[in-house]
Structure 1
Amino acid sequence: MASSSRAGTSGVSRKIVWLAIAVVLAIALYTGGWFYAASWLKDRVTQELAASQQGLHSASCSNPDVRGFPFRIGVFCDAVGFDDRPTGLSATFGALRSAAQVYWPGHAVVEIDGPAQVRMTPDIVFDADWSLLHASVVAGTDGLDRASVAYDGLKGTLNAPSEGLTVAVSATHGEKHVRRSGEALDVAVSLHALTLGLKDKVLPPVDVALDMTIADAARWLSKEGVPGTVPRGTSTELRALSLDLGGGKTVTLSGPVSVDDEGYVSGALDLTVEGVDAWRDRISELFPETAKTARKMASAIKSLSGGQDRASVKLTLRQGTVYLAFFPIGEIPPL
């Protein structure tokens, strides 16, 4: 009996030893694989960044590193930059931190520090900073499938010296989401408590929301990127563009909009205004020089809606000319 007991105990011990060896080997193999993948990723990023400097769309990452062991993997940079030569757009940002689960490397989360500077030819410059900016991207073999960006505490200044324009911008929270929808591109944007400062005027905080689909634009998320001619030659279904001042004062636009190859805008939009008189008074207060026009517009909108303070009217855009019913009320210059 004693011999049998010792044999049983010995068998169990061997199984435990073999299990321990297997666990150690698995950990060693996983660790080696992770660090091999990290080395490969760092080399690949370095090569791609170097190659991009010779192309039309270049990117930079200072002091690139790969971190996240054991269950994540991601690229870290002390600073990042982007230069799109066809559009004359370039940008610089602070540190970047990214992470993807090892089992799903195509889905990554990213945090970017400020400050940032975005430049567009000939002399448009946007300087910005924020308390938090994070993004989520899902990529396939031919580029992004979808991406989201959210930020808090945005503050910035837009300068365009050639236009004599300086605009201060702030928002407590903002989000942008893009995704492929077949051959189209879905875009949703929201800004909470957006405030604009124009010279000696500070506009009241407004919540902004945009929801639209751009036809034949899914390829913009591929490696070919956004064409330098955008927005010309685009066709968009504007599901909703809304401005909300609070207290029931809202403006909403919806309908199809297109921009031809010469930059002229055409479309058929539904305009809904909640609180026509309140909007008239606010615009007149902020821009006294437009008070007369604001009164005429408010009167026309209310008359087309039976005198109600909640009005729904049709706006028609033809080659940049805006019509309310049959009456031209403004011009949109070529984009």
Structure 2
Amino acid sequence: MASSSRADTSGVTRKLVWLAMAVVVFAALYTGGWFYAASRLKDRLTEALAASQQGMHSASCSGLSVRGFPFRIGIFCDSVGIDDRPTGLSASFGALRSAAQVYRPGHAVIELDGPAQVRVTPDLAFDVNWDLLRASAVAWTDGLDRASVAYDGLKGRFNVPSQALSVGIAATHGEKHLRQSGEALDVAASLDALSLDLGDKVLPPLDVKVDLTIADAAKWMSTEGPPPTAPLGTSAELRGLSLDLGDGKTITLSGPVKIGDDGYVSGALDLTIEGIEAWRDRVSEVFPEAAETAQRVAGAIKGLSGGQDRAVVKLNVQQGTVYLGPFPIAEIPPL
């Protein structure tokens, strides 16, 4: 009996030894594999970034490193820059941190620090900063399948000196989501407490939301990106564009829209207004020069709604001219 017990113990010991050896071998192979993959990734990124400097579309990542061992792998940069020479666009950002699970490398989470500066020749500039910006993306070899970005405490200023234009922008929170939907592209975005500083006047905060599907635009998320003429020549289904002043005072637009090759917008839209008088008064307060027009349009809408402070009306947009019934009420400049 004692001999049998010793034999059993010896068998268990051998199994434990083999298990321990297997764990050690696996850990060594995994560690070597991770650092080899990280080294290869860094080398390939360094080569790609260096090659981009010789082309029309370049990118930079100072202080490039690959981190995340043992269960993640991610790219880190002290600062990031892009330069698109054909469009005259350049941009610089602060530090970038990214991470993806080793078992799911196509799904990355990214944090980007400000401040950022975006410039477009000849003199358009957008300087912006934020408290926190996070993004996530799911990618395949041919490009992105879906992507999201969210930020808090956004503050910036948009300047075009040649047009004597300077607009400050601020929002407490914002989000944007992109997703391929067959051949189409789904887009949803929101801004909380968006306020605009026009220099001589500051627009009161309001919440903005938009939800639309752009036809034949899924390929915009491919490695080739959107065409240089985008969004010209595109069609979309606007499921909702809403402006919210609070206390139930909202404006919502929905319906099909099209942007012509000349940049002018056309479409047939349903307009829903909650609080017609409040919107009339707000527009008149912020833009005194448009007070008479606001009064006339509000009166027409209330007339169509039977005098109620809520209305649902049809808007017809033809080559940038907005019609309420047969009457033109606004102009949308070409994009």
**TM-score range with shorter-chain normalisation?**
over 0.9
* 1:53 equivalent in alignment to 2:53: yes
> In structure 2, what residue type is equivalent to 1:76?
F
Provide the residue aligned with 2:93 in structure 1: 93
Structure-1 separation of matches of 2:42 and 2:180 = 28
Partners of 1:57 and 1:215 in 2: how far apart? 27
Figure out how many residues of one structure are paired with residues of the other and give that number.
335
- Bigger CA drift: 125-134 or 317-326? 317-326
Q: Which residue of 1 aligns with 2:203?
A: 203
CA distance in structure 2 between the aligned counterparts of 1:269 and 1:84, rounded to whole angstroms? 36
Q: Which residue does 2:42 correspond to in 1?
A: 42
CA deviations over 1:6-36 (Å, ceiling 9, x no partner): 3332222221111111110000000001001
Aligned to 1:9: 9
For 1:207 and 1:283, locate their aligned partners in 2 and report how far apart those are by CA, in whole Å. 16
1:252-291 aligned within 5 A:
252-291=252-291
User: How do 1:1-335 and structure 2 match up within 5 A?
Assistant: 1-335=1-335
Whichever residue aligns with residue 105 of structure 2, its letter is: P
CA distance in 2 between counterparts of 1:275 and 1:225 reads: 41
- Classify the secondary structure of the residue corresponding to 1:203: strand
Length-normalised TM-score, structure 1:
0.97
Once residues 53 and 306 of structure 2 are traced to their aligned partners in structure 1, the CA distance between those partners, rounded to angstroms, is 61
Runs of 4+ in 1 over 6 A off after TM superposition: none
Once residues 88 and 306 of structure 2 are traced to their aligned partners in structure 1, the CA distance between those partners, rounded to angstroms, is: 49
In the alignment, residue 101 of structure 1 is paired with which amino acid?
A: Q
Aligned counterparts of 1:53 and 1:216: Cα–Cα separation in 2:
32
SS of 2:28's equivalent in the other structure is: helix
> How far has the Cα of 1:163 moved from its partner?
1.1
Deviation at 1:276, TM superposition (A): 0.5
Partner of 2:114: helix, strand, or coil? coil
Work out the CA distance in 2 between the residues paired with 1:27 and 1:309.
70
- Contact kept in structure 2, 1:169 and 1:194, CA below 8 Å: yes
| 1:58 positional shift | 2.0
Corresponding residue SS for 1:70:
coil
Q: Out of 163-172 and 102-111, give the one that drifted further.
A: 163-172
- The alpha carbon displacement at 1:326 in A equals 0.8
CA distance in 1, matches of 2:131, 2:184: 33
Give distance in 2, aligned partners of 1:52 and 1:218.
Answer: 25
- Aligned-residue offset at 1:256: 0.9
Secondary structure of the residue that 2:105 maps to in structure 1? coil
Identical amino acids, percent of aligned pairs: 75
Distance in 2 (CA, whole Å) between partners of 1:307 and 1:3 is 101
Q: List alignment gaps of at least 5 residues for structure 1.
A: none
Question: Could you tell me which amino acid in structure 2 is paired with residue 147 of structure 1?
Answer: A
Secondary structure in 1 matching 2:230 = coil
Q: Structure 1 residues 121-130 or 275-284, which shifts more?
A: 121-130
Give the secondary structure class of the aligned counterpart of 2:204: coil
Name stretches of at least 5 consecutive residues in structure 2 with no aligned partner.
Answer: none
CA distance in 2, matches of 1:52, 1:180: 27
User: How much has 1:128 moved relative to structure 2?
Assistant: 0.7
TM-score, normalising length: structure 2: 0.97
Q: Which moved more, 1:51-60 or 1:297-306?
A: 51-60
